[in-house]
Amino acid sequence: MKRILTPAALLAWFLLSDCGKVGDPLPPLVQIPAPVADLTTTQLGREVILSWSIPKLNTDGSEATTLESIEVFRVIRTPDSTPFGPELFSQDATLLAKISKWSFETYFKNGKIVFTDPLTGQGDEVFHKELGYMVQAFNRKRQHAGDSNLSSLQLVLVPEPPSNLSPSYSEGFIELNWEPPVQRIDHSAVSGIVRFNVYRSDTATQPVFDLLTKTPISETTYRDSTAVLDKTYLYRVRSAIAQGEGFVESSDSTTLRALNTDVYPPKSPLEITGFSNGEYVSLVWVPNSEPDLAGYDIYRSPDGKTYEKLTDQLEGASSFIDRKVEIGKLYYYRVRAVDTHKNQSEFSEAISVRVE
């Protein structure tokens, strides 16, 4: 006979079976941002520029959503043959800054955090020292997974930035001129070859300066042929000296605001010819190639001395028909090109046409 369990018996069986056992409590999940691995340092004048990527993952491979802050540390020491190591930072490190996640955007540039160490309080003797840097990424519980890579450098006595940056203008370019530095940042005289890098920003609002010189130049002038007419640019120039396989730059020169206003007239129309069929005079000429050309004004004279304009509006084509003529008369013609800024060219060569 088949036995049927009552609901109470079923409950008792479930509680006594392994399925009903409660396991040991799991440890809390700890999410700590992975250490920064791409810290770099660069000298710029009397400052050190640090750059690194924000950790995207935790040590367990999950997304680093608990990243709360990044702290920056520095060690200054007399150079020796011993490389920088973690023990130096545990003994002599100075906390330079604590950057909250809420202010990351303030330091964000080209996909990385960029932090400037102004070396406040450090005199000229710092140029005889070696500087090392390290950063740590913390979660909300003030936990970190260890130090970043260590980045170190020894400061170089770079020249001061160039002075008296000034512009000159032509239709096809903005030319920058400056005076080379005579002192280094410790006020000693400049020695050796000094070169220059030119930077430009296309916007005056939150400007970002792009490098224009592919390699530092030795001249104290630079011609920016990519500048567009009627557009405002900001320029800065840095001194640069060779160091190892690269260059070390000074701080920025004063910023120059430059605007190349279009005051440049078109070229005079060329190769004007004309003929008459007895009823009108037809003129043609080689069209101007200026991209901002607006059109042409046509002028006529009965004696080749006093000219009057025949057109109330600019002619868009490089041709014109004068129907207000009389048979047997000689007329003189000349043409002038006009651009969208109302700059007028010189008059073309005058030609004469007899109506017959």
pLDDT attached to residue 90: 77
- Asked if residues 70 and 42 have their Cβ atoms less than 8 Å apart, the reply is no
- Asked if residues 295 and 315 have their Cβ atoms less than 8 Å apart, the reply is yes
HSE, CB side, 13 Å, CA atoms: give it for residue 335: 29
pLDDT attached to residue 205: 72
174 CB burial (10 A radius; 0-12, 13-18, 19+): buried
How many domains, the chain?
3
pLDDT attached to residue 142: 93
pTM of the entire predicted model: 0.79
Range of the structural domain that residue 109 is part of: 40-154
- Edge-to-edge order in the sheet of strand 308-309: 308-309, 293-301, 330-339, 351-354
Model confidence over 217-240: pLDDT tens digits? 999 999 999 999 999 999 999 999
Domain boundary among 124, 154, 184: 154
Q: Which residues of the chain have pLDDT under 70?
A: 1-29, 204
Residues 197 and 249 in one domain: yes
Residue 99: phi, psi to the nearest 5?
-100, 110
- Residue 72 per-residue DSSP state: E
- Edge-to-edge order in the sheet of strand 67-77: 94-100, 67-77, 130-139, 151-154
pLDDT attached to residue 28: 55
- Residue 195 per-residue DSSP state: E
pLDDT attached to residue 25: 56
From CA 318, how far away is CA 298, in angstroms rounded? 10
Please name every residue paired with 174 in a beta bridge, in sequence order, or none if there are none: 169, 224
Q: Is residue 76 part of a domain?
A: yes
Q: What is the CATH number of the domain that holds 252?
A: 2.60.40.10
pLDDT attached to residue 267: 97
Q: Is residue 33 part of a domain?
A: no
Query: E strand or H helix at 173, and its extent?
Result: strand 173-179
Residues 176 and 281 in one domain: no
Model confidence over 300-350: pLDDT tens digits? 999 999 999 999 999 999 999 999 999 999 999 999 999 999 999 999 999
